[in-house]
Chain A
Amino acid sequence: MMKLAIMVILFTAYHAQAEVYGQQVTVQVQQTEIKKVLNELEKKAKVRFLYNYELTTLNKKVDFNVQNTSLTVALDKLLKGTGLTYKVLDDNLIVIMNAGDGEQNQSNRVTGKVTDETGKPLQGVSILIKGTAKGTTTNEQGVYTLSATAGDVLVVSYVGYDAQEIAVVADKGVYDATLQSGKSQLSEIVVVGYGTQRKKDVTGAVAVVSADDFKDRPIVNAAQALQGQAAGVQVFAPSGKPGSGMNVSIRGNTSLNASNAPLYVVDGVIVADINFLNAQDIESFSILKDASSAAIYGASGANGVVLITTKKGTTGKGRISVNAYTGFSNFAKKIPVLNKDQYLALMTEMGYTDNNTGNTDWQKEAFGTGHDNNLQLSYSGGNADNKYYVSAGYQKQSGVVAPANYERYSVRVNLSNKVREWLNVTTNMNYVTSKSIDVADNAGVAKGGTILSALTSPPTIGIYNPDGTFTSNPNKGGWENPIAAAFGPDQQARDNRLIGNLAADVNIIKGLVFRSNMGIEYAGYRWDYFLDPFRTDYGRAQKGYGKSKSTQRFVWLWENTLTYNKRWNDHSLTALVGTTMQESNYNESYAEGRDYPNASVGSLNAAAIKLISTTTQAQWARRSYLARVNYAYKDKYLLTANTRYDGSSRFPSGSRYGWFPSVSAGWRISGEDFMSTQKIFSDLKLRAGWGKTGNDGIGDYDYWARFSPNGTGGFNFNNLAKDNLTWEKTSQSNLGLDAAFLHNRLRLTIDAYVKKTTDLLVSVQPPPSGGFDKQVYNLGAIENKGLEFAVMGLVLDKAVKWTVNANLSINKNKVTALGDYTKVLTYGSIYDGRGDAIRVEVGKPLGAIYGYISDGVDPQTGMIKYRDLDGKAGITADDRTYLGYAQPDFVYGLTNTFNYKNFELSFFLQGVQGNKMFNASRMELESMNDSKNQSADVLNRWKTPGQITDIPKAVKGSTDNTMISSRFVENASYLRMKSLSLRYNFTGNFLKKAGISRLGVYATGQNLFTITKYKGFDPEVSQYTDANSIGIDYGTYPQARTFIFGVNVDF
Chain B
Amino acid sequence: MKRISIYIIASVSLMMALQSCTKDFLQKEPISDALPSEINAEPLLTGAYDGMYDEYYTSDYMAVGEVQSDNEYAGGDNPAIFQIDKFTVDATNALVQRDWGYLYTNIKNANIVLNYVPTMNDPRLTADRKQQILGEAAFLRAWHYFNLVRLWGSVPVITGVPNNVSEMFASKKPVDTVYAQIIRDLEFALPKVQATVANKGIVSKGAVNALLAKVYAQKPNPDWQKVSQYCDAVTALGYDLVADYASLFQVSGKNSKESIWETQYDGTTHGNWLTGMATPWVWGDWKKFYIPTHTVSKAFDDEGDLIRKNASMKFINTSWADDYWPQPVPVINKFPDPDQKSNNPRLRYADILLLKAEALVNTGDVNGGMDIVNNRIRRRVTLGPKSAADANAAKLVIEKERQLELAFEGHRWYDLVRTGRAIDVMNAQKDGNGQSLGYNLTANKLYFPIPQNEVDRNPNINK
Contacts and interface: CB of A to CB of B under 8 A. Distances in A.
B43 A715 contact: yes
A648 B49 CA distance: 37
12 contacts: A352-B321, A475-B321, A476-B287, A560-B14, A579-B19, A706-B33, A707-B34, A768-B454, A772-B165, A823-B456, A833-B95, A959-B82
- Interface SS, A side: mixed
A769 B156 contact: yes
Contacts of A826: 453, 456
B180 interface: no
B283 to A, nearest CB: 5
A560 B15 contact: yes
Nearest to A775: B165
Contacts of B339: 609
Which of A704, A708, A769, A772 has most chain B Cβ within 10 Å?
A769
A765 B79 contact: no
Contacts of B320: 475-477
A104 to B, nearest CB: 40
Interface of B: 3-4, 7-8, 11-12, 14-16, 18-19, 22, 25-36, 38-39, 43-50, 53, 77-80, 82, 90-95, 97, 100-101, 104-109, 111-112, 155-156, 158, 161-166, 168-170, 267-271, 276, 280-287, 318-321, 323, 339, 451-454, 456-459, 461
Nearest to A578: B15
A508 B7 contact: yes
Interface stretch (A32-40, A616-624, A677-685, A937-945): A616-624
Contact of B90 (A579, A647, A707, A877): A877
A614 B97 CA distance: 30
A768 B97 contact: yes
Contact of A514 (B11, B50, B97, B155): B11
B321 A701 contact: no
A748 B380 CA distance: 92
Contacts of A610: 268
Contacts of A701: 28-30, 33
A541 interface: yes
B445 to A, nearest CB: 13
Given A720-B162, A823-B456, A877-B90, A832 B79 contact: yes
B15 to A, nearest CB: 5
A367 to B, nearest CB: 25
A623 B168 contact: no
Given A446-B77, A476-B287, A579-B18, A767 B164 contact: no
A824 B456 contact: yes
A81 to B, nearest CB: 41
Given A833-B78, A835-B92, A579 B16 contact: yes
Nearest to B44: A715
A993 B84 CA distance: 82
Contacts of A822: 457
Contacts of B36: 705, 707
B88 to A, nearest CB: 9
Contact of A833 (B38, B43, B79): B79
Contact of B18 (A512, A560, A609, A876): A560
Nearest to A624: B19
Interface string A473-490: 011111100000000000
Interface string A701-730: 100111111101111110111100000000
B48 A877 contact: no
A823 B459 contact: yes
Contact of A877 (B92, B458, B459): B92
A958 B276 CA distance: 24
A824 B92 CA distance: 15
> Which 8 pairs between the two chains have the least Cβ-Cβ distance?
A771-B108, A478-B286, A833-B94, A770-B168, A714-B47, A714-B46, A833-B80, A767-B458
B39 A767 contact: no
Nearest to B276: A541
Pick from B16, B18, B92 the residue with the most CB of A within 10 Å: B92
A201 interface: no
Given A611-B271, A769-B158, A832 B80 contact: yes
A362 B453 CA distance: 40
A656 interface: yes
Given A820-B166, A877-B452, A956-B323, 10 more contacts: A475-B320, A560-B14, A562-B12, A704-B33, A707-B44, A767-B454, A775-B164, A775-B165, A832-B77, A835-B452
A648 B156 contact: no
Contacts of B156: 769
Nearest to A510: B4
Interface residues of A, number: 95
Given A706-B30, A716-B47, A834-B79, A609 B11 contact: no
A550 interface: no
A495 interface: no
Contact of A618 (B15, B31, B111, B276): B31
B456 to A, nearest CB: 5
A917 B116 CA distance: 48
A772 B285 contact: no
Contact of A714 (B4, B48, B108, B287): B48
Interface of A: 352-353, 446, 472, 474-479, 508-509, 511-512, 514, 537-538, 540-542, 560, 562, 564, 577-579, 581, 583, 609-611, 615-623, 625, 647-649, 653, 656, 700-701, 704-710, 712-717, 719-722, 764-773, 775, 777, 820-824, 826, 832-835, 876-877, 930-931, 956-959
Given A537-B285, A609-B267, A706-B33, A562 B108 contact: no
B34 A706 contact: yes
Nearest to B39: A707
A540 B457 contact: no
B33 A707 contact: yes
Contacts of A656: 26
Contacts of B7: 508-509, 512
A850 B267 CA distance: 41
Nearest to B339: A609
Contacts of B39: 707, 715
B31 A353 contact: no
Contacts of A542: 282-283
B165 A764 contact: yes
Contact of B158 (A719, A771, A777): A771
A23 B412 CA distance: 92
Contacts of A772: 105, 108, 162, 165, 168
A920 to B, nearest CB: 14
A770 B100 CA distance: 11
A617 B18 contact: no
A956 B79 CA distance: 11
Nearest to A711: B269
Nearest to A841: B456
A157 to B, nearest CB: 33
Contacts of B35: 704-707
Given A475-B320, A475-B321, A577-B12, A767 B33 contact: no
A821 B169 contact: yes
A538 B284 CA distance: 5
B46 A712 contact: yes
B41 to A, nearest CB: 10
Nearest to B112: A717
B25 A538 contact: no
A694 B53 CA distance: 41
Most central of A446, A765, A768, A772 by chain B CB within 10 Å: A768
Given A701-B30, A771-B108, A710 B457 contact: no
A709 B33 contact: yes
Nearest to A478: B286
Q: Which of B18, B79, B93, B268 has the most chain A CB atoms closer than 10 A to its own CB?
A: B79
A716 B33 CA distance: 10
A764 B270 CA distance: 31
B461 A767 contact: yes
A834 B97 CA distance: 11
A770 B104 contact: yes
Contacts of A835: 92, 94, 452
